[in-house]
């Protein structure tokens, strides 16, 4: 291989395994003896402001630790790139003779990577641009699943089961858990993975892919409470009513993302109040929030391995001459779970959202189907911890 400099950046919300992909690129670049390995601190901001670091000088012992570190090791950003910024980015690449650019991120990051690739081609600058997927929302199109989702799914499923046991012990009888996910219900659906028997948490799940109807929701809660004397409900933050308005409203103007899109939030709190008002039941809302994407203790070993693999294969893909693509995970057929790495044009992925399929949601719109469980179970790694219960033996009267 001709020694060529490469640059890596991490964009958007971190995941528990985003650094596995970073290390995958670095270690593969070192293995093939590439040129300088440059890291952009805080994503595109680091490129524009030339806040860069020499990743090639990092010791192997440090890289090993970074693979198991939450957050983005390089620092991330949600900056919306302005049209004039792209020319500046290419100027920085020229200055440091960068010929390979790897962008680890979600929808917005893939959009940015596509634009960088398109501009480089248009002006004849030799640059290979590769997108490396990551998001706990699992909403990147054209990939079976996204690195980061499996670990977040494991966390959500585990915490939902644990909250369910707490509710059984000392209610308030109704607990509503709000997951991240923006406009998709993948993470909310994952809360079902630790359920072992009827009555276990979660009892109900609601998804942005189905219009939320308050009357149906309250009726569902009433039925579950009548049967068990309690209910654990999981809702996605992106729930919308039939008019398309977010349940619980949207966050303040200052909380919009870098692309000017409204960020939902507050569905669980809003719905717990509605339950108390309409059903006279005490309800509590929980919002694990960022914990779902940062928890290393709940990490999926499958997710870790795949995140590293897409980083390594991204480097190989670029060296082979590919550009303007995002690496993908492709599930192979067969009873045993296997995944291989593929690629798809960035222009197909940019800003697109992959919704939870209809056949993963039951006919009532309030739980998942067996098809979803079959899809998601392999992604969370080893079996999620289960718990025993007391048998409840009767006291024998010896008098």
Q: Is the dihedral of CA 241, 252, 41, 112 positive or negative?
A: positive
Architecture of domain 151-293+355-380: 3-Layer(aba) Sandwich (3.40)
Is the CATH number 3.40.50.1820 carried by domain 5-147+297-349? no
Answer for the pair 142, 348: CB distance below 8 angstroms, yes or no.
Answer: yes
Answer for the pair 255, 276: CB distance below 8 angstroms, yes or no.
Answer: no
How many CA within 13 A on the CB side of residue 89?
A: 27
Q: What pLDDT, on the 0 to 100 scale, is given for residue 253?
A: 47
Q: What pLDDT, on the 0 to 100 scale, is given for residue 254?
A: 42
Radius of gyration of the chain (CA): 23
> Is 144 among the residues known to form the active site?
no
Answer for the pair 35, 64: CB distance below 8 angstroms, yes or no.
Answer: no
Q: What pLDDT, on the 0 to 100 scale, is given for residue 333?
A: 93
Q: What pLDDT, on the 0 to 100 scale, is given for residue 3?
A: 81
Q: Among the residues of 11-170, which ranges form H helices?
A: 18-31, 43-48, 60-66, 83-95, 107-123, 149-169
Q: What pLDDT, on the 0 to 100 scale, is given for residue 392?
A: 87
Q: Which of 139, 101, 116 is nearest to 13 (CA)?
A: 139
Q: What pLDDT, on the 0 to 100 scale, is given for residue 396?
A: 84
Q: What pLDDT, on the 0 to 100 scale, is given for residue 350?
A: 84
Out of 54, 97, 137, 257, which one is annotated catalytic? 137
Residues carrying CATH 3.40.50.460, the chain: 151-293+355-380
Give the pLDDT confidence of 321-358 residue by residue, as tens digits.
999 999 999 999 998 999 999 999 999 998 789 999 99
Q: Which residues pair with 103 in a beta bridge?
A: 9, 131
Low-confidence ranges of the chain (pLDDT < 50): 253-254
Query: Helix 301-319 to helix 18-31 angle, to the nearest 10 degrees?
Result: 40
CA distance 83 to 105: 20
Query: Helix 149-169 to helix 301-319 angle, to the nearest 10 degrees?
Result: 170
Give the pLDDT confidence of 282-311 residue by residue, as tens digits.
999 999 888 998 889 999 999 999 999 999
CA distance 31 to 289: 38
Residues carrying CATH 3.40.50.450, the chain: 5-147+297-349
């Amino acid at each position: 291989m001709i020694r060529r400099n490469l640059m890596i950046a991490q964009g958007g919300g971190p995941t528990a395994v985003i650094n596995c992909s970073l290390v995958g690129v670095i270690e593969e670049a070192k293995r093939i003896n590439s040129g300088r390995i440059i890291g952009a601190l805080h994503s595109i901001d680091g490129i524009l402001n030339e806040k860069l670091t020499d990743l090639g000088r990092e010791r192997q012992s440090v890289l090993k630790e970074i693979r198991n570190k939450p957050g983005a090791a390089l620092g991330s950003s949600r900056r919306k790139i302005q049209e004039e910024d792209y020319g500046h980015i290419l100027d920085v690449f020229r200055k440091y003779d960068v010929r390979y650019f790897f962008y680890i991120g979600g929808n917005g990051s893939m959009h940015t990577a596509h634009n960088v690739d398109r501009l480089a081609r248009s002006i004849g600058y030799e640059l290979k641009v590769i997108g490396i997927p990551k998001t706990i929302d699992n909403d990147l199109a054209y990939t079976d699943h996204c690195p980061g989702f499996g670990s977040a799914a494991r966390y959500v499923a585990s915490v939902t089961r644990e909250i369910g046991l707490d509710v059984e012990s000392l209610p308030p009888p109704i607990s509503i858990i709000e997951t991240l996910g923006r406009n998709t219900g993948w993470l909310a659906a994952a809360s079902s993975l630790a359920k072992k028997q009827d009555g276990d948490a979660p009892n109900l799940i609601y998804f942005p892919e189905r219009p939320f109807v308050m009357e149906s929701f309250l009726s569902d809660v009433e039925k579950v409470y009548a049967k068990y004397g309690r209910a654990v409900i999981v809702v996605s933050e992106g729930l919308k009513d039939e008019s398309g308005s977010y349940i619980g409203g949207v966050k303040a103007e200052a909380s919009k993302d870098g692309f000017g899109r409204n960020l939902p939030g507050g569905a669980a709190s809003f719905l717990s109040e509605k339950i108390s008002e309409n059903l006279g039941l005490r309800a509590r809302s929980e919002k694990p929030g960022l914990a779902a994407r940062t928890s290393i203790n709940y990490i999926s070993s499958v997710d870790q391995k795949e995140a590293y693999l897409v980083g390594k294969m991204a480097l190989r893909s670029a060296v082979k001459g590919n550009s303007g693509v995002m690496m993908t995970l492709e599930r192979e057929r067969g009873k045993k779970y296997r995944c291989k790495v593929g690629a798809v044009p960035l222009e197909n992925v940019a800003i697109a959202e992959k919704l939870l399929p209809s056949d993963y949601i039951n006919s009532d719109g309030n739980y998942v189907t067996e098809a979803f469980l079959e899809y998601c179970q392999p992604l969370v790694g080893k079996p999620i911890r289960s718990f025993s219960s007391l048998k409840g033996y009767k006291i024998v009267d010896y008098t």
